[in-house]
Amino acid sequence: MFMINVSAPGKLMLFGEHAVVYGKPCIVTAVDHRMSVSINYNEDDIIILNAPEVNIKDLKVNLKDLKKEHPKGAKFVLKAVDNFFDKYNVNKGLKINTKSEFSSLFGFGSSSAVTVSTIKALSILFNIAMTKKEIFDLSYKTVLDIQGSGSGFDVAAATWGGTLYYVKGGKIMEELEIDNIPLIVGYTGIKADTVTLMNSVKKQMEDEPERISKIYNDMEKIADESKKYFYKKDWKMIGKFMNDNQNLLRQIKVSTPELERLIGASIKAGAYGAKLSGAGGGDCMIALGINDNINKIEKSIESMGGKIIQVNSNAEGVRCD
Ligand code: MEV
C-alpha cells in the first residue's frame, strides 16, 4: 500500500470573528498555504508520528494508549485517529507524517487543517466513503474534544475551501462563488492565544450582555451585507465594511497597539480598509488594496514592523495530492 497524501488549506477570517462563537454568521476565506498529512499502515499495533513543524519526531503510541494524554503537537492528529477508529470501528497501526507550508504562529488554523487532512487521509486508507459534511463533523468534534470551544469556521474552510458564509457548527454553510480577493496580510510577530481572548470576550458578555449583543448584531449586519459586494467586486465597499468591523473589534478590546500600527499604516498608504483577522491579540491583520497601491501598502506595513505574508484567497479545500 502506497502512502496516502492529503492536504488542506489554512484560512483568514474576513468578517465576524468572535460574534460567530455566539451564533452569528462570519465570512472566511481559505488561503493557499497548506498543511499536508501522509498516512500508511504500520505492521505493529503502533502509531508512529513525525510532525517536524511542531517538534514531534518518531513519537510512538501504542494503539491501546491512544486515549491517553499526548504531547501538545501530536494531540490533534492522534485525537482525529481515535475518533475515526471509534466511529468506523477500525483499529490498525499507522505511520503518519505531517508537513506545513505555514507557521503555526500566524493563526492560519494549522490545528484544524491537520485534523481535516488526517480524517480525509484515513477515509481513503480504510476505503470508507465520507462526504465533506461527514469530514467536517468528525473534524469539528475532534477540535472541540481538544479545545472545548470554537465555532468551527476554520474546520469548514479547511474542508470546503473557497470563501464561505458560515454559522457555527455548519448550521449554515454557503459557498460564495467569487474570485481571488485582493488581500494583503501583515503578521505582527506576536502569537495570540485564542482561548484567552475568547474568555475575555465571554466575561464582557456576562458583565455587559446588552452592549456586547449590540456589537454582535452589528457584526452580523456586516457579514450579511458584504456578500453582495463580494459578488460585485466592490472592494471599496468591502474595505469600508472591514473598517467598520475593526471598530467593533476595538470595542470588544481584542485589538492591540501592534495590530493598530499595521492597520493604520495600510490605511495611510491607501488601503480601502483593514482589520485584524481571527481572535486578535496579535497574529495577522488584513488589508484590501488593488494593483498599483498594493506595493505601497506592503512597504508601509513593513515599515511599522509587520511581516508581509503572500497569500491567495479562495484556495481549494481538502484534497488528495
Ligand atoms: C479565532 O480565529 C476566531 C474566533 O471567532 C473563534 C472561533 O470562531 O472559533 C475568535
Q: What is the pLDDT of residue 123?
A: 98
In the chain, which residue ranges form alpha helices assigned H by DSSP? 75-88, 110-125, 132-147, 153-160, 194-207, 209-232, 235-251, 257-268, 294-303
Crossing angle (nearest 10°) for helices 132-147 and 110-125? 130
114 lines ligand 1 (CB under 6 A): no
Instruction: Give the pLDDT score at 76.
Output: 98
Residue 283 annotated in active site = no
| Gap between the terminal Cα atoms of the chain | 16
pLDDT of residue 290: 85
Q: How many CB atoms lie within 10 A of CB 294?
A: 19
pTM (predicted TM-score): 0.97
Please give the pLDDT value at position 102.
87
Instruction: Say what the pLDDT of residue 1 is.
Output: 65
Ligand 1 atom closest to residue 197's alpha carbon, by position in its atom list: 10
For the packed helices 132-147 and 153-160, what is the interaxial angle rounded to 10 degrees?
A: 150
The ranges of the chain with pLDDT < 50 are none
Q: Which residue out of 82, 137, 154, 244 is catalytically annotated?
A: 154
Regarding the beta carbon of 301 and ligand 1, being less than 6 Å apart is answered: no
